[in-house]
Structure 1
Amino acid sequence: MSDLLTPTQVDPLEAEQAAALDRDGYLLLRGAVPEAWRAALCAAFDAGVGTPDQWASPRGVGWRHALVDLDPTVQRTCRLPPLLAAAGRMLGGPFFLCQVEGREPLPGGGHQALHRDGAGLNAVAALVFLDPYGPDNGATRVVPRHLDRGEPDEALSLVLAGEAGDILVFDADLLHGATRNRSGARRRSLLLSFMPERNRPDEDACRAIRGVRMDTSEVFVPCAISSDSGEGGA
């Protein structure tokens, strides 16, 4: 664990949410982002959209990408208690915020095959929706863990729908994928990831190619672990 900071204690997830997350491998946090923050997040996204050469590695075709990780409201959003609680539930030990960037499917673009962000990868991903989302404008679809048969099966996938301010948090090993933005309506989101503290050296080694500029030194610790170890929260 990093010795630079006192670990930040993460409170446990509510029992009903924890049960749903354990069963499905994902949790949709409705209205989790305070309404007062949403305009600032949209402004940060739009200000962060640039030309392809602002990224060290190529970005996916059919998507708009935004550099947002230095924005203070983005950073506050990544630390919302329910989001950290869900990440702590899945990771079960000390973890850190690895990356956050903006993504938006362009009109007619965005479709992804069902995939896992890394088979066996011990990581948590989250999407913070900045616009209403649904099957017409590129919403994410997921295969709940209890339905997963191992191989991608579109018949088992659920297309999510909701409003700006919702957060989808999920196991990076969960089958998921964006749908096509058929309507052309905006569907901006923040994509972020949390990793176990033990993964820090590998992630630090590729910061530049991933376009990470923010300070990632903060360590989050689920409260049960904090209590056992005697470490206080920040």
Structure 2
Amino acid sequence: MTGAPTPTPVEPLPVEQAAVLDRDGYLLLRGAVPEAWRQGLRDAFDAGVGPPDQWGAPKGPGWRHALVDLDPRVRRACRAPALLAAAGRLVGGPFYFSQVEGREPLPGSGHQPLHRDGLGKHCVAALIFLDAYGPDNGATRVVPRPLDLGAPDESLAQILAGEAGDILVFDADLPHGATRNQVGARRRSLLLSFRPEADRAADTATRVLRTVRMDTAEVFVP
């Protein structure tokens, strides 16, 4: 019989980045994925695009979805030290890697209303961008904590822009949403989440519905 896995320690964020994350509720990690990894991640994304019946629940229209959670290149990127450090800062205690999938807004599609995920549960969401992104091709927009007045307000949202290899990590309670891919340029990303260890039992009950195939036993400790 094997016992629980040994917790994996997570290094703290640098002081300046921690201050930005605490203040805004999100942090954009520029170039956090090494350039040598990026084409492999794009290949994993494209290989993971398949028919609708590969998912446990129907996916919404207007997006290309990729099943990638068993790909070792993807799992390595999702354990980037800076990403884990930011997740640990937001969760504030033991946490685990809950899920990952690939998403890309199709030309003319992708706009989402501002919304919150996991209200009050200290869940962390992250996007690993595999292509350059900005307001023309479906970039994410967020409302920073100091501007968040409760009801999502589009006038307060900030549209992010950057390059392949950037990682956006944010408190899933923060109002956020994708924009429309107006020009049709590719904007592949890996969408992933980390959850507090206390959520594990409830999260496990929905694994099939969320098409989670990977091992999620590892526990990270800030």
For this structure pair, what is the TM-score category when the shorter chain's length is used for normalisation? over 0.9
How far residue 69 of structure 1 moved from its aligned partner, in angstroms, is 0.4
Aligned to 2:206: 206
CA deviation map 1:137-164 (0-9, x unaligned): 0000000001111111111110000000
How far residue 120 of structure 1 moved from its aligned partner, in angstroms, is 1.5
Aligned to 2:51: 51
State the distance in 1 between where 2:176 and 2:63 align.
17
Give the 3 Å change call, closer, same or farther, for CA 4–131 of structure 1 in structure 2.
Answer: same
What SS does structure 2 have at the residue aligned with 1:21?
helix
State the distance in 2 between where 1:60 and 1:174 align.
22
**One-letter code of the match for 2:80?**
L
How far residue 119 of structure 1 moved from its aligned partner, in angstroms, is 2.1
State the distance in 1 between where 2:163 and 2:128 align.
10
State the distance in 2 between where 1:207 and 1:71 align.
17
Query: Percent identity over the alignment?
Result: 74
How far residue 60 of structure 1 moved from its aligned partner, in angstroms, is 1.4
State the distance in 1 between where 2:179 and 2:60 align.
14
Aligned to 2:151: 151
Aligned to 1:13: 13
Aligned to 2:38: 38
What SS does structure 1 have at the residue aligned with 2:88?
helix
Out of 43-52 and 118-127, give the one that drifted further: 118-127
Aligned to 2:131: 131
State the distance in 2 between where 1:96 and 1:118 align.
15
Paired residues for 1:59-74 under 5 Å: 59-74=59-74
State the distance in 2 between where 1:57 and 1:20 align.
36
Aligned to 1:178: 178
State the distance in 1 between where 2:194 and 2:117 align.
13
State the distance in 2 between where 1:119 and 1:214 align.
25
How far residue 4 of structure 1 moved from its aligned partner, in angstroms, is 2.1
Count of paired positions: 221
Aligned to 1:232: none
What SS does structure 2 have at the residue aligned with 1:195?
strand
**One-letter code of the match for 2:73?**
T
State the distance in 2 between where 1:31 and 1:170 align.
17
How far residue 20 of structure 1 moved from its aligned partner, in angstroms, is 0.3
TM-score by length of 1: 0.93
Aligned to 2:169: 169
State the distance in 2 between where 1:152 and 1:126 align.
20
**One-letter code of the match for 1:86?**
A
What SS does structure 2 have at the residue aligned with 1:131?
coil
**One-letter code of the match for 1:141?**
R
How far residue 3 of structure 1 moved from its aligned partner, in angstroms, is 4.4
Paired residues for 1:75-94 under 5 Å: 75-94=75-94
How far residue 100 of structure 1 moved from its aligned partner, in angstroms, is 0.4
Q: Which segments of structure 1 move beyond 2 Å, counting only runs of 4 or more?
A: none
Q: Does 1:99 align with 2:99?
A: yes
State the distance in 1 between where 2:54 and 2:61 align.
15
Aligned to 1:231: none
Q: Please provide the CA RMSD for this pair.
A: 1.0
How far residue 121 of structure 1 moved from its aligned partner, in angstroms, is 2.6
Q: Does 1:117 align with 2:117?
A: yes
CA deviation map 1:35-89 (0-9, x unaligned): 0000100000000000111101011110000000000010011111100000000
